[in-house]
Chain A
Amino acid sequence: MANIVQVLVDAIALGSLYALVGLAIGLVFGVMRLVNFAQADYITIGAYALVVPTASVTPPLLLGALPTAVMIGGVLLVVVVLALLTERVAFRPLRNSNPSTLLISSFAVSYFLQNLVMLIHTGRPKSVGIGQSLANAVEIGGVRVPGVQLLTMGVTAGLLVALVLFLKKTPLGIQMRAAAENFQMARLLGMPANRVIALAFAISGLLGGAVSLLLTIQTGTLDLRMGLMPVVYGFFATVIGGMGSLPGAALGGFLVGVASVLLQTYLPADLRPFRDAGVFTLVILILLVRPQGLIVTSAAKERV
């Protein structure tokens, strides 16, 4: 029994992480119809900002050496600035291009950033120890939960609530939702296009930075491709949730996270390496049954 609860906790913690990435991708897709695969590199660069650029596999800490609050603020700032920079330089000039052009340029940005990190930090994986005390398990009702999982769930819940409040209560949040449904109409009603899009990128950077920190605490390693799988999963989350629907993106994130952990746990040992294939099959099956995703939005229909 306790074992099942343990698995569920694992599943929800992983799902939380994917939900955060899914929201970041969904938010930018909402206002720009861009699936931003450079989100992976926002996460990677946020994590690498913790250490001093060296060839060493156990590099000295940079932002990671600062007091916790400053370190968190620093990483978030780095990723937000990076997200805004890519928006300004790479995506804003292409705003009126079709979605496939935007998609290809997000690959280009991603490839560029990945190689930039390789140039600065070299390509070898590194180990970094931050928040090691969080690796200790906390016992709750007979179940041992690693502190980092509690943190992941807590951070996700907090960010979800903050995001919902922002979108429902603030002027820019309301304009952002309107822009996600019908960008042209929102502009005719006075929505500031540049500001709203930049803000969507900034928030995607904030979410990306949170994922950087959580991933690094969880794994204790840095890798050039560390952001890739979360973003692939986050992308699936938005697709099965319904492109353009933020509740859908969060829900989809939890679903793929849970599916991944369940497969990891209950597949026969020989088949476990194919866990990802299992999740992808699940995504395909969901899309066969509900091609527009679990939550259908007007964004999924033709954009007027």
Chain B
Amino acid sequence: MSRPSKRSGSKERLEARGVAVAFGGIRALSGVDLELRRGEVLGLIGPNGAGKTTMVNVLSGFQRPTSGSIRLDGIDVSRLTARKIAQAGIGRSFQAARLFRMMTVEQNLSVAAIGSGLSRRKARERALDILDWMGLARKADHRCDSLSYGDERRVSIARALALQPSFALLDEPASGMNDAECEALMEVIAELPARFGCGVLLIEHNMKVIMGVCQRIHVLDGGQSLAEGSPRDIQMNPAVRRAYLGEKAADSTLAI
């Protein structure tokens, strides 16, 4: 597999600048700045309704911001179509797996690989390569409606990676997984930057996962940025603890 880090045109930073989103009278996000660099895992946390998923929707072109912009290496991409944004190097997974259920696992990944510009044969190669790496090689020719819940979730992450994104946005990839599956997933996510040369934005409620794999954490609350910093800084931050972790939450293993 060609090393993505050598790929020409790889983008270095994905930025949200002053992003606001309003649904009717409800402000889901107001004036959020966020920066994701290639090679890092950035955690995005916050209570339910804080605007995390809306942020990912905006970053991936699924939702247009009411105001503000999304910049890839300084170039505004917030008015591009979903396809253009995918081709510019942004891949995402959803809370629900949203697989193409009538198609095989390999074909699901190939849709993304083809979408990034590969031929059918090269797409299959990339798909099998990623599946192999994630320990899903045996499932390659299974139809997606026959997968277990855990496998569905892993395939949806694999599919986002098959776009060969410069930035992978993962929306609660571990939700509903058991402890063993979670552990395995943490290893996968932690390796993503080195293996794919991408930056990872991780939304996750499981604090163990967040604290374990993120270099930086960004906290949203009520549609606004509350804090940003290293896992340690965030754990110590009194405002974050008040808003989200709870006063007594001193240890990082607390699952919320």
Interface residues of A (CB under 8 A from B): 169-171, 174-175, 177-178, 181-182, 184-193, 297-298, 304
Structural contact, B114 and A174, CB atoms closer than 8 A: yes
Q: Which of these, B92, B103, B115, B119, contacts A191 with CB under 8 Å?
A: B115
A181 cross-chain contacts in B, Cβ below 8 A: 100-103
Chain A residue at minimum C-beta to C-beta distance from B122: A171
Of the residues A170, A175, A187, A304, contact of B82 by C-beta under 8 Å? A187
Interface residues on B, range: 20 to 34
A192 — nearest CB in chain B belongs to which residue? B83
B81 contacts the other chain (CB 8 A): yes
Q: Which of B33-41, B104-112, B129-137 forms contacts with chain A?
A: B104-112
CB closest chain-B residue, reference A195:
B83
Is B103 a contact partner of A178 (Cβ separation < 8 A)? yes
Q: How far is the CB of B14 from chain A (nearest CB, A)?
A: 15
Contact A177 B100 (CB under 8 A): yes
**Shortest Cβ distance from residue A73 to the other chain B in the assembled complex, whole angstroms:** 27
Q: Please give me the residue from chain B that is nearest to A246 by CB atom.
A: B102
Using Cβ atoms and an 8 Å threshold, which residues of chain A touch B81? 187, 193
Across the interface, which residues of B come within 8 angstroms of A304, CB to CB? 96, 98
List A contacts of B116 (CB < 8 A): 190
Contacts of B244 in A (CB 8 A): none
- With beta carbons under 8 angstroms apart, the residue of A170, A177, A190, A298 that contacts B115 is A190
List 10 interface pairs A-B (beta carbons < 8 Å), by A numbering: A171-B120, A177-B103, A177-B107, A181-B102, A188-B83, A188-B92, A189-B115, A190-B86, A190-B114, A192-B83
- In the assembled complex, the CB of A301 is this many whole angstroms from the nearest CB of chain B, namely 10
Of the residues B60, B83, B101, contact of A190 by C-beta under 8 Å: B83
Q: Which residue of A has the minimal Cβ distance to B103?
A: A177
Q: Which residues of B contact A187 (CB under 8 A)?
A: 81-83, 86
Contact with A along B120-157 (1 / 0, CB 8 A): 10010000000000000000000000000000000000
Distance to closest chain B CB from A265 (angstroms): 36
Within the complex, what minimum Cβ distance (angstroms) separates B102 from chain A? 6
Q: A187-B82, A189-B159, A192-B83 are in contact. Are A171 and B114 (CB under 8 A)?
A: yes
Besides A178-B108, A181-B102, 5 new A-B residue pairs in contact (Cβ under 8 A), listed by A number? A170-B120, A174-B114, A182-B98, A186-B115, A188-B92
Q: Which residues of A contact B86 (CB under 8 A)?
A: 187-190
Interface centre among A182, A186, A189, A193 (most CB of B within 10 A): A189
Q: A171-B119, A190-B116 are in contact. Are A178 and B62 (CB under 8 A)?
A: no
Taken together as a complex, chains A and B put the C-alpha atoms of A118 and B80 apart, in Å, by 44
Known: A177-B102, A181-B101, A182-B98. A193 touches B83 (CB 8 A): yes
Q: Is the CB of A175 within 8 A of B115?
A: yes
Asked whether any CB of chain A lies closer than 8 Å to the CB of B5, the reply is no
Residues in A neighbouring B44, C-beta threshold 8 A: none
Residues A174 and B102 in contact, CB atoms below 8 Å apart? no
| Complex: A175 Cα to B35 Cα, angstroms | 32
CA distance A193 to B81 in the complex (A): 10
- Nearest B-chain residue to A185, judged by Cβ: B98
B247 to chain A, nearest CB (A): 39
B185: chain A residues at CB < 8 Å are none
CB distance from A211 to the nearest CB of B (A): 26
- Residues of chain A within 8 A (CB-CB) of B108 are 178
List 10 tightest A-B contacts by C-beta distance, closest first.
A190-B115, A190-B86, A187-B82, A189-B112, A178-B111, A171-B114, A181-B100, A189-B115, A178-B100, A188-B82
Q: Given A189-B159, A190-B87, A190-B115, decide whether A298 and B82 contact each other with a Cβ distance below 8 A.
A: no
**In the bound complex, what is the Cα–Cα distance between A272 and B43 (angstroms)?**
71
Instruction: Find chain B residues with CB under 8 A from A186 CB.
Output: 100, 111, 115
B163 in contact (CB, < 8 A): yes
Question: A285 CA to B116 CA in the complex, in Å?
Answer: 46
A-chain residues with CB within 8 Å of residue B119 when the two chains form the complex: 171
